[in-house]
Structure 1
Amino acid sequence: MDILRFATAGSVDDGKSTLIGRLLYDSKAIFEDQLEAVERTSRDRGTEYTDLSLLTDGLRAEREQGITIDVAYRYFATPKRKFIIADTPGHIQYTRNMVTGASTADLAIVLIDARKGVLEQSRRHAFLTSLLRVPHLVLAVNKMDLVDYSQERFEEIREEFTAFAAKLNVTDLTFIPISALHGDNVVSRSENTPWYQGTSLLHHLENVHIASDRNLVDVRFPVQYVIRPHNATDPGLHDYRGYAGQVYGGVLKPGDEVLHLPSGLTSRISSIDTFDGPVTEAFPPMSVTIRLEDDIDISRGDMICRPNNKPQVAQEVEAMVCWMSEAAKLAPRTKLTIKHTTRTARALVRDLHYRLDVNTLHRDESASALSLNEIGRVSLRITQPMFVDDYARNRLTGGFILIDEATHSTVGAGMILESR
């Protein structure tokens, strides 16, 4: 059974937390005591209904303000698929939280209040999902019950958003009219929208095709750990040398010829081991241990790939960076630590080309620095070679994080546009 990771986003009070609560409730993914606590809190607040948003709004500040601040992860499953939900905040001051939640998502749900239509925040959320190359986007037009389930209103919103999405890199866009409060078109089709011929939201989540979203062409295997069981009681394990890590791209099989970077030496895969025993092939996002026929000096941070399909070996990259630090700004000459796949090095910000207004998509080329939650294009010089791909080609080998050398705090997330 595969796993679908999806993120929800929307303006304040568009119903993100209520929608997730509805999915959890209708799919029987919450315990009785959780439901009792939510019902009790709802009664104490004087609401006439069970406020399902309380299932995900965990922080006291969130409950008091009725907004989502932190990224809340929730898990549930149906007979067809397992799900990991990232309930991301919608307010612009929490852009970094949304970037964090959506960076690993296969699909994003952007909620729009049917009464308010497409807002500035809606456009920002759509832009961020396209910037992060989330393959599938669902526009859930919520609160249809408050516009009498009007088909005309739904079509207006669809036309407006489709025109805006044409400017973005959105490959798969789906529109679904819902009412998270009453459950219309969330888990099952609603009789209140006979004019809607599509599927329910959960049916779409269960059946959206994600296997082809992962790069199965370019073999990328960053080595995370070298396994040498010196104290093994089994004599057969004394000569064991395996390279553990996660497959970031391509398909690996025993017998395949592979290339090691940075040495440039080639070998063949002798076996692929997992916790459950040997396997005949490995593909993203499997975590495996690879053994090679030849003894090559391989360590953490190295890359295993194909001889005729190598990543770019680069020490200079152009990237879009989302700045996440309140304490400092990102400016030219800033020195940071960069972590890319399993490799860590020092980096210097050579230039800030422009700051991007995520609401209007305007490029401010006069900007001298990036502040908290701002996004811009920068040039980085790295002290040692990195094995990279463009983010558009591979989100895993094209993404990186920036770390403050003094505090060891994560201060930025980047997406590689060019490398040399």
Structure 2
Amino acid sequence: MISGKRILLVVTGGIAAYKSLELIRRLRDSGAFVRAILTKSGTEFVTPLSVSALTGEKTFIDLFSLTDETEIGHIQLSRQSDLIVIVPASADFMAKMAHGRADDLASTVMLATDKDILLAPAMNVRMWDHPATQENLATLRKRGIQVIGPNDGAMACGEFGPGRMSEPSEILAAIESYFAPKTTPLAGHSALVTAGPTHEALDPVRYIANHSSGKQGYAIARALKTLGANVTLVSGPTHLPPPDGITYIPITSAREMLKACENALPVDIAICTAAVADWRVTEQSNQKIKKISGDDAPTLSFIQNPDILATLSKQGPKRPGLVIGFAAETENVESNAKSKRQRKGCDWILANDVSPETGTFGGDDNTLFLIDETGTDCWEKMSKEASAAKLSVLIADKLKLNT
């Protein structure tokens, strides 16, 4: 999708600059050509040598280098690219762009370019929330600059909130989406996606949960939206920002998720990626369960949570035309997934190994087995964004075939 595309990467100052190296690697692995500009403050966090080693190209820093200006020039540098990506975009650099300053190579390129720009902000939460930053952001959006993120999360300064730069996989997905053919085979179709974990309360301060990050479900929601579907995302607690252009329904517990899914029906496609807790306590305590010295640990009684995938798969007038489940397994992945598909009654099931050594939970990559009535298709390891894109195309093909 981006093979052969020319990406100009601008790396500004900030601790998140180290993520630009991973983005370069992913872009090169995808076949893109990458050139990079490092601002002076950016060189405090990553070196020109490390950037050049990954891009395979000279890294540009100085506006007043006679050699560079003779050979390429800031005008040509800005125009010999298909897309400009600023990662990370600091508050200072966003202010420069908003006010048209051109006092270094990177800001001069921004003023001289006629190419589209993708911005990945990263800064302290208070800087992000400051009215000046938000006004600058609004100005840049008004000029057509695309913005991805930032995410909520823990920051190097110790604070928590919006301002954490989007992950390289998310930025790569945004770049792929920019270059994707603007076909919409799922236009007119509706889709329901569940994502993330559920939290089952024990008392007002404690809960049972799991390590699901929600990344795969959010990626699928974005991919379906890219193909034109009208998407509803029902999500348990995550640190991910809601994808643009979808109906986003945040929930906490399995029962809340089931209710939200039932309210979203009817839909054409239902994809259950959420890692729903299988059990909850029979009786939730209204007060914090206190630990008293000398007492034994409390005994907890559990009851099964509703089975969302099985409920959506039941035959009836509101059953989606295509119901897809996910099976997170730690052993006998394929056989367990086949058994789960039969029990749940869904059309397709995607199985993955979530053993700790795989890094699947919370990671950016996945290795999936697609199981349907015809057998098993083993996919190679790929990013969750790529898995989502592949699945969405298969869904579009299936609906077209049925039609």
TM-score when normalising by structure 1:
0.27
More strand by share: 1
More helix by share: 2
